[in-house]
Amino acid sequence: MTSAPVHAKGLEGVIADESAICNVEQTALIYRGYEIADLAAHASFEEVAFLLLIGHKPNASELKAFKDELIAERELPEMIKQNLKHAGELVNNKYAVPMDILRTAVSVLGHLDPDCQDNSAEANLRKAKRLLAKIPTVIGHMQNSIEGREFVAPRSDLSHSANLLYMMTGSEPSPEAEKVMDVSLVLYAEHDYNASTFTSRVIASTLGDMHGAVTGAVAALKGKLHGGANEAAMDMLSDIRNDIGPDNDAAKITGWMHKAFAEKRKLMGFGHRVYKNGDHRAPILHALGRKAAEARGEEFVKLFELGEAVQKIMADEKTIYPNVDFPCGMTYFTMGIPVPQYTPIFVASRITGWCAHIMEQHANNRIIRPRVAYIGPALRNWND
Ligand SMILES: CC(C)(COP(=O)(O)OP(=O)(O)OC[C@H]1O[C@@H](n2cnc3c(N)ncnc32)[C@H](O)[C@@H]1OP(=O)(O)O)[C@@H](O)C(=O)NCCC(=O)NCCS
């Protein structure tokens, strides 16, 4: 009797290829040689996007040209705008969630991109910039449609982060809100072979095109075990609040957590396949979000205090720590962003990592085609 070959469930620990883009270690997260805390403190999202897509830190003139190119690409083709007019109807009647609308928009953007079928390095970079520039406009217009408002056109005098918030609301964000959004985008931009990036590389490895690979990546990011965790984490905190009432009563919080443990529930925004001692991005975003909450008032501080109590119980009793999605949920809530847009905003950032990986795959390709250990029926005859 032969036993099935050894396999790695969930591909845990498997090194699938080499990459020069990002290094995820227990002790550090590094984008092209720069550590994440360094980038969060000193680099803008546009600088990080340039670093990831083009491969080096931009000088002043490179950065200006890059920003100008992005600004010039912010408008959407008319066909996409017409489609997005129906976003409110689809979302408000629960036929779709914003991640579905964004996935379809990315796919249709491919039909309208003159470089769609061209996988050359030059065409891929042009497409990556267009996607990076247009995704915030998709999110903004979609939110306008959900709220029954006219589309808010992109502005050419605002940063990527400020323009995203402006288009979603019609109001120019404060410099503080712009900064928090910008840092969250820096933190979300890249994370080596996570599920959505791996998806994009599998598609690219067949010589599929960038829009197809990104469409698949958006679908992968939607899941609660991956990018969807930022929405799920906030939903979980709202559930706890509903169950325990307005005060952060320690006994009630502990009771809620023990019930969740007894039911073997996965707590959203906690745990990570690689980071077993904590996610380096989480404390950076937590500190910024908490500061924003203190500026906004008691309700928001109490939300962070609830989150901190949950974190402490998870750490003390399970030695499981928050990932970046946990503080993200609380932070975006404090900023007044509607919960179903948290994961689309993640896309507005991770598009940089995905496109960098798709370009790296196309530049040095071998089709990704692993094997599986067969455990089905033994050989048998159809006529027996
Ligand atoms: C991120 C995640 C998918 C990683 O999955 P993974 O590497 O397969 O980790 P495992 O599921 O093997 O977890 C190892 C152990 O920790 C537990 N665990 C991991 N994350 C947990 C969580 N969020 N809540 C409760 N227990 C958790 C598992 O139940 C498992 O316990 P066991 O050994 O007693 O069965 C997982 O931690 C998770 O589902 N987290 C919640 C979703 C989330 O926040 N995703 C965003 C990731 S950035």
pLDDT tens track for 66-82? 999 999 999 999 999 99
In this structure, which amino acid lies at residue 20? A
For atom 6 of ligand 1, the residue with the nearest CA is: 273
Atom of ligand 1 nearest to the CA of 318: 26
Q: What is the pLDDT of residues 261-270, one digit of tens each?
A: 999 999 999 9
Evaluate if residue 3 carries a pLDDT over 80: no
Confidence of residue 4 (pLDDT cuts 50, 70, 90): low
Ligand 1: centre distance to CA 272 (Å): 6
In this structure, which amino acid lies at residue 166? Y
* Residue with the larger pLDDT of the pair 6 and 254: 254
Residue identified by tokens 């003390």 is 316
Evaluate if residue 2 carries a pLDDT over 60: no
For atom 35 of ligand 1, the residue with the nearest CA is: 264
280 is catalytic: no
Question: What pLDDT was estimated at residue 6?
Answer: 83
235 is catalytic: no
- Strand 29-31's sheet: what is its strand order? 22-24, 29-31, 34-35
Helix H or strand E encompassing 165: helix 160-169
The residues with which 31 forms a beta bridge, in sequence order, are 22, 34
Ligand 1: centre distance to CA 224 (Å): 11
Ligand 1: centre distance to CA 191 (Å): 17
For atom 34 of ligand 1, the residue with the nearest CA is: 264
Confidence of residue 27 (pLDDT cuts 50, 70, 90): confident
Which whole number is the average pLDDT over 179-193? 98
Q: Which CATH superfamily is domain 18-222+341-363 in?
A: Citrate Synthase, domain 1 (1.10.580.10)
Asked if 101 contacts 91 with a C-beta cutoff of 8 angstroms, the reply is yes
Question: What pLDDT was estimated at residue 51?
Answer: 98
Ligand 1: centre distance to CA 267 (Å): 8
* Phi and psi at residue 73, to the nearest 5°: -105, 10
Ligand 1: centre distance to CA 266 (Å): 7
What is the torsional sign of CA 304, 306, 312, 315?
A: negative
* Mutate-to-test residue for ligand 1 from 273, 281, 324, 350, highest number of ligand atoms within 8 A of CB: 273
- Provide Rg for the chain, Cα atoms: 22
Q: Where are the CATH 1.10.230.10 domain residues in the chain? A: 229-334
Asked if 205 contacts 363 with a C-beta cutoff of 8 angstroms, the reply is no
Q: What is the pLDDT of residues 305-335, one digit of tens each?
A: 999 999 999 999 999 999 999 999 999 999 9
Evaluate if residue 249 carries a pLDDT over 70: yes
The CATH-assigned architecture of domain 229-334 is: Orthogonal Bundle (1.10)
* Mutate-to-test residue for ligand 1 from 272, 280, 343, highest number of ligand atoms within 8 A of CB: 272
What is the torsional sign of CA 117, 120, 123, 129?
A: positive
Evaluate if residue 162 carries a pLDDT over 70: yes
Structural tokens at position 261: 């443990």
Active-site choice (272, 280, 286, 357): 272
Residue identified by tokens 């072979």 is 193
Active-site choice (17, 86, 118, 226): 226
Q: Where are the CATH 1.10.580.10 domain residues in the chain? A: 18-222+341-363
Helix H or strand E encompassing 92: helix 87-92
Atom of ligand 1 nearest to the CA of 324: 48
| pTM beyond 0.95, yes or no | yes
Ligand 1 pocket, Cβ-based, cut-off 6 angstroms: 10, 225-226, 229, 266-273, 320, 323, 325
- Establish how many alpha carbons lie within 13 A of residue 288's alpha carbon, considering only the half-sphere containing its beta carbon: 26
226 is catalytic: yes
For atom 46 of ligand 1, the residue with the nearest CA is: 226
